[in-house]
Amino acid sequence: MSNKDSYERRHRYLDNQITRLEKTNSYNRELITDLKKKKLRLKDRMISETRQIGKHDKEMRNALAIGS
């Protein structure tokens, strides 16, 4: 399983937890806020990794084009 799948799975899990807590535990705003922050950090990591993969792929295509 790739990191992307793992990140997406954790992101969905956090989203479900937040939704459940907002429906049933609205008094615990601190926990909900903490989960939302975790979800955002995870999303940032997902985006960063995607960009790095794209950059690496571009560099490889350029290297292959130069070597041809």
**pLDDT band, very low/low/confident/very high, at 2 (cuts 50, 70, 90):** low
Query: Residue 67 has what pLDDT?
Result: 61
**Could you read off the pLDDT of 8-64 as tens digits, one per residue?**
899 999 999 999 998 887 778 899 999 999 999 999 998 888 888 888 777 778 777
Query: Residue 58 has what pLDDT?
Result: 79
Query: Residue 1 has what pLDDT?
Result: 44
DSSP letters of the chain?
A: --HHHHHHHHHHHHHHHHHHHHHH-TT-HHHHHHHHHHHHHHHHHHHHHHHHHHHHHHHHHHHHHHH-
Q: Which two tokens stand for residue 62?
A: 């350029």
Domain residue spans of the chain: 3-67
What is the C-alpha separation between 13 and 5, in angstroms, rounded?
12
- Does the pTM surpass 0.85? The reply is no
